[in-house]
Structure 1
């Protein structure tokens, strides 16, 4: 894990400087989500979901960073989704 996080940091930093293509400076940003098996998932689909959740957290933290998945990220995402569903239902029932 430490090596993956170090590599992710190097990749994020590599994209902070502009690239020059045909004399034009091109600015690219990057954010990285990291997940490890089997801790964060037993198969590719679960690992991709965990990495995507970590990527969402990295973008929320201001972009240009890397985040490693942890269970609290999943709980926060589930809470937000439950709130969205509850609000949608309340709107449909004219409860607001």
Structure 2
């Protein structure tokens, strides 16, 4: 039910972090979105921009992908599910 309601009414929980200030985890559109004051780490608007950029890459010609800084792991989700990339990903 929580996932269903996240499409209608997103919920946000905040957690203090000595390193990153406040971490915000928002359950929105069936996904957990991780944000800090200065960055979006998973899904969210930057994920959509990344996916637009990935449409410009000929991924079927790419044998290996090296990810530096994975955030919440949403990049791998996009590569595997949205773009059906099945080759090597090193993170």
Tell me if both proteins adopt one fold, taking TM over 0.5 as the criterion.
no
More helix by share: 1
Greater strand fraction, Structure 1 or Structure 2: 2
Bigger radius of gyration among the two: 1
The two structures have a TM-score, normalised by structure 1, of 0.30
TM-score after normalising by structure 2: 0.31
Q: Which has the higher contact order (CA 8 A, sep 6+)?
A: 1
